[in-house]
């Protein structure tokens, strides 16, 4: 059962081949057994999961089941879940039990899915390797010496290892697409505002977006139909109808115009990744797509622009974690200033402190115009590059990451080199566009991901293009040998 996709599990449940309880018990056994060495979960919730599975079986027996009823999944530990620890991978929130559910959690519960627990992540979603989690690093199921990518590495590793068929994730600068690429699974970053951020602990509010990680584009379409939609509790959530993404999957790609950004195929791209992308281009040609080279002339400014805006917003968002209202509080503070200093000093890890300091500096008096305002102006140029490209083509295609998964410790002493691992994903967040990553090959044992980028609210076309590719390739069917 652990090797089946959501669509296959849904059909199995509907046909009575197994119950949701049997499926849930099987996956909980994998999480507690061989899956434990991956460290993909921060919290496992067997009692709640089995109760939800029984409720799903009862719902199905009553003839009230939907396509996702009874299907297990996991939430990234950045989503608030009522009565369950929501740590965001940080010591600061190690003792935080949320009194409410995030919008995404509510939607998935309403669909009858069964949550097995909360997945590990970089602290407050800050990282590209899952090495900054307070709960320790997540292992890549394909090779234990390799990182799973960040910050949704726990979700990606759990899906790749067959611990869950799908998981929620978030993407601020590539945190769905880069770990999906490194773990050989599929990940979708929707348009900014397509999915409510209510109850999702904020890192950089103008960039954060929730999305699914699963094995196939069909599964991501099923998940997005549930996750997307207007929520008045999030002022940035767009009031717009949610299409039936699964209905759009079957169309052919004849005449689809795909752009190849020349800036994505230059220096720094690993030859194995370049070869996999070239092979994918050939597959799309055989499917009827046409290609055209386009330019994203300001893409070289994306990383420096992002690392002004994101830290600036994180320094504001994380100011609420002060040890006074909730979160970690130091022992025996001598006065209020001591309470603030030691609570935050003890609660936050090194990468979070680094970004708070950078962001506070960028927002400080005398530097706001030189850094934050200038970065926002560059952000507009980057967005305009994409919009000009989409006047000529329907989608953009390129690598998801410049290299396959790297080893633990390879970039920990050089933050800038770590930040560059997101060089092909960050600009998408600055422009608020949707994009997905799908498996497209291997370098040795390590997966390679292909990235497709669409214009705003064009998730249906993205999922269709990804689905057609997965119908003629088998990269998404490959499983890590140790977790087959």
Q: Among all residues, which ones are annotated catalytic?
A: 76, 151, 175
Residues 6+ apart with CB under 8 A from 142: 160, 183, 184, 405, 445, 446, 447, 480
Residues 6+ apart with CB under 8 A from 191: 209, 238, 432, 433, 434, 456, 457, 458, 459
Q: Which residue has the tokens 């214009």?
A: 455
Q: Are 418 and 178 in contact (CB under 8 A)?
A: no
* Beta bridge pairs of residue 437: 187, 451
From residue 173, how far is each of 45, 125, 200, 310 by CA, in Å? 29, 10, 16, 9
**Rounded-to-10 torsion of CA 278, 422, 123, 449:** 0
> For residue 476, what are its two tokens?
């998404």
Q: Closest Cα to residue 256, out of 29, 484, 44, 464?
A: 464
In angstroms, the CA 315 to CA 303 distance is 18
In angstroms, the CA 71 to CA 62 distance is 17
Collapsed DSSP state (helix, strand, coil) of residue 236: coil
In angstroms, the CA 411 to CA 407 distance is 8
DSSP string, 134-182: TT-PPPPTT-TTB---SSSHHHHHHHHTTS-SEEEEE-SSSTTHHHHHH
Helix (H) or strand (E) segment spanning residue 417: helix 415-419
Supply angle C-alpha 211, 217, 222, rounded to 5: 65
* Beta bridge pairs of residue 72: 114
């Amino acid at each position: 059962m652990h090797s089946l996709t959501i669509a296959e599990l849904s059909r199995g449940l509907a046909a009575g081949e197994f119950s949701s309880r049997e499926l849930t018990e099987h996956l909980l056994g994998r999480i507690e057994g061989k899956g434990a060495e991956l460290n993909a979960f921060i919290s496992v919730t067997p009692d709640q999961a089995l109760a939800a599975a029984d409720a799903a079986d009862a719902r199905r027996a009553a003839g009230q089941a939907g396509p996702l009823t009874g299907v297990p999944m996991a939430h990234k530990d950045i989503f608030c879940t009522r009565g369950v620890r929501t740590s965001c991978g940080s010591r600061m929130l190690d003792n935080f039990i949320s009194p409410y559910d995030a919008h995404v959690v509510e939607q998935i519960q309403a669909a009858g899915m069964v949550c097995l627990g909360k997945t590990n992540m970089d602290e407050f979603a800050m990282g590209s390797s899952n090495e900054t989690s307070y709960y320790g690093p997540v292992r890549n199921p394909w090779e234990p010496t390799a990182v799973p990518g960040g910050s949704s590495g726990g979700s990606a590793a759990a899906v790749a290892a067959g611990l869950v068929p799908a998981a929620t994730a978030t993407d601020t600068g590539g945190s769905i697409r880069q770990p999906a690429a490194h773990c050989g699974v599929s990940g979708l970053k929707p348009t900014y505002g397509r999915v409510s951020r209510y109850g999702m602990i904020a890192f950089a509010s103008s960039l954060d977006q929730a999305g699914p990680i699963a094995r196939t584009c069909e599964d991501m379409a099923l998940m997005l139909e549930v996750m997307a939609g207007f929520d008045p509790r999030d002022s940035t959530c767009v009031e717009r109808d949610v299409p039936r993404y699964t209905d759009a999957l079957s169309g052919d790609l004849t005449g689809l115009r795909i752009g190849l950004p020349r800036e994505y195929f230059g220096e720094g791209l690993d030859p194995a990744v370049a070869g996999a992308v070239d092979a994918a281009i050939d597959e799309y040609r055989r499917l009827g797509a046409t290609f055209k080279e386009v330019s994203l002339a300001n893409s070289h400014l994306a990383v420096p622009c992002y690392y002004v805006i994101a830290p600036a917003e994180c320094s504001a968002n994380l100011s609420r974690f002060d040890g006074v209202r909730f979160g970690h509080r130091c022992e025996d503070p001598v006065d209020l200033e001591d309470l603030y200093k030691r609570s935050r000093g003890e609660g936050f890890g090194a990468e979070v402190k680094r970004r708070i300091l950078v962001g506070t500096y960028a927002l400080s008096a005398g530097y706001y115009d030189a850094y934050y305002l200038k970065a926002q102006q560059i952000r507009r140029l980057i967005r305009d590059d994409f919009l000009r490209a989409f006047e000529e083509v329907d989608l953009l295609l390129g690598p998801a990451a410049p290299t396959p998964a790297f080893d633990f410790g390879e970039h920990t002493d050089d933050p800038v080199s770590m930040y560059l691992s997101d060089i092909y994903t960050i600009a998408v967040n600055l422009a608020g566009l949707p994009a997905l990553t799908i498996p497209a090959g291997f370098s040795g044992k390590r997966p390679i991901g292909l990235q497709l980028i669409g214009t705003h609210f064009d998730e249906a076309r993205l999922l269709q293009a990804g689905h057609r590719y997965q119908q003629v390739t088998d990269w998404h069917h490959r499983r890590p040998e140790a977790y087959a």
